Structure 1
Amino acid sequence: MFVLTIDQRNSQAGTDLVPTAIDTIERVGGTALALPPERTAGDEIQALIAGAPAALALALALSRAGTWGVGLGAGAVDTPLPEVVRAARGDAFLHARDAVGRAKSTPLRLAIEGPDAEAAADAEALLRLLLELRDRRTDEGWEIHDLLATGLTQREAAAELGITESAVSRRVRVAGLRTEEAAIPALARVLGALDPDA
């Protein structure tokens, strides 16, 4: 299992983003959420996730805005599960706590901890490469990313934006979308190796 613990960065200087983040976690996590996300203290949120692909998707979605320190912990979780995530216990929760503490002080806002420290470091290093790529993406790159993520083809995205297909292809290339597309399944497999329930 994976525990996601996120903490809003500079929360005292801005608005409360917890409700929006909870909506994102519920939308992106979907049926992979073993327990619904909830605010656990102040501007911190926890969620329990079954499966590396969903854990990775959530980490990417939440790190995109740059407003959260994202800690991802892998490991065992005590069963039976309680009704609320704040009552749950296990190594995955301890790892997530350590990870979010580190994440808040890293430039890319994300850290991973798990039962195998070396494997967790490998997963974190690879995920940081992907985050570096995403952080360099322009607004035009994100625009085409978001359109293609809805299932549109490049031709349909071109029509939607009123630009040529070759312009869309250029945006896809510059934004590194095909590199990201190839990296995500590989990253999910690396992350999945940390899950004792897999």
Structure 2
Amino acid sequence: MYVLTVDQRGSTRHGDRVPQVLALIGEVTRGRDGVVRVFGRTVGDEIQGVLDDAALVVDVVLELLRDEGWSVGLGVGAVDEPLPAESREASGDAFVRARAAVERAKTRPKGSSVAVEGGTARAEEVEALLRLLGAIRSKRTSAGWEITDTLASLLAEGRSAAQKDAAAALGISEQAVSQRVRTALWHEEQAVLPVVVRLLAALDDGTTEGAG
């Protein structure tokens, strides 16, 4: 099981942004399986949710890192059953690890402020890849995000992420698309994503087996 504990960065300067981030996560998770307990406020400007799908976890984490206003702690492991209706009332290894992870994440720079605790060395591998993806994304320009968001939308619609389709959607040349894609490291990101999802799924399998 995956527990995400997420704490706002710089809340004294920016005010309470919990409603906005809950809406953001709602958009990412809408219509997808894998949400065990919906995200909700735990205390102050901290939120928490429980998921059981590695791909969904990665998508949520990367959206939170893109926002750059959150420290993200991911705990992987067993949870005490039955789970209560709200995650803040739950317990288990995954919750303890998420708490430790978010405290470590607070020491990281924005854009890569994520930490993973899972009881094995594989957690360090997942954390390293998530931080790498976050760092890559933090360097993107608005033009880079425009092209990568367009390509992602094409894929989500079941269409190919052909550069000619992206060019038509944005009203720019295929050459301009190609340049933006290279600068944004889109292909490199797409190559890493399935790797981190696979490692995260294996980490969950390992911690569950270990708990049994």
TM-score by length of structure 1 reads: 0.94
AA aligned to 1:110 is V
Question: Residue 110 of structure 1 aligns with which residue?
Answer: 114
Contact 2:33 2:53 in 1 (8 A): no
Q: 3-state SS of the aligned residue for 1:16?
A: coil
The superposition leaves residues 125-176 of structure 1 with CA deviations (integer Å, 9 ceiling, x where unpaired) of 1222222211111111111111111116422321232210121111111101
The correspondence of residues 98-177 of structure 1 with structure 2, limited to 5 A, is 98-107=100-109, 108-116=112-120, 118-151=121-154, 153-177=162-186
**CA shift for structure 1 position 25:** 1.8
Question: Residue 81 of structure 2 aligns with which residue?
Answer: 79
RMSD after superposition:
1.5
Contact 2:113 2:131 in 1 (8 A): no
AA aligned to 2:191 is A
Runs of 4+ in 1 over 6 A off after TM superposition: none
Which moved further from structure 2: 63-72 or 129-138?
Answer: 129-138
Percent identity for Structure 1 against Structure 2:
48
AA aligned to 1:141 is G
Which moved further from structure 2: 25-34 or 135-144?
Answer: 25-34
Counterparts of 2:129 and 2:33 in 1: how far apart (Å)? 26
Unaligned runs of 5+ in 2: 155-160
Number of residues of Structure 1 aligned to a counterpart in Structure 2: 197
Counterparts of 2:135 and 2:113 in 1: how far apart (Å)? 11
The superposition leaves residues 58-116 of structure 1 with CA deviations (integer Å, 9 ceiling, x where unpaired) of 11010101100011110101111211111111100010000100101112211111121
Counterparts of 1:197 and 1:179 in 2: how far apart (Å)? 31
**CA shift for structure 1 position 189:** 0.9
Counterparts of 2:47 and 2:56 in 1: how far apart (Å)? 16
Counterparts of 1:154 and 1:17 in 2: how far apart (Å)? 36
Question: Residue 187 of structure 2 aligns with which residue?
Answer: 178
Matched, 1:193 2:195: no
**CA shift for structure 1 position 119:** 1.4
Counterparts of 1:163 and 1:175 in 2: how far apart (Å)? 16
Counterparts of 1:179 and 1:139 in 2: how far apart (Å)? 18
TM-score by length of structure 2 reads: 0.88
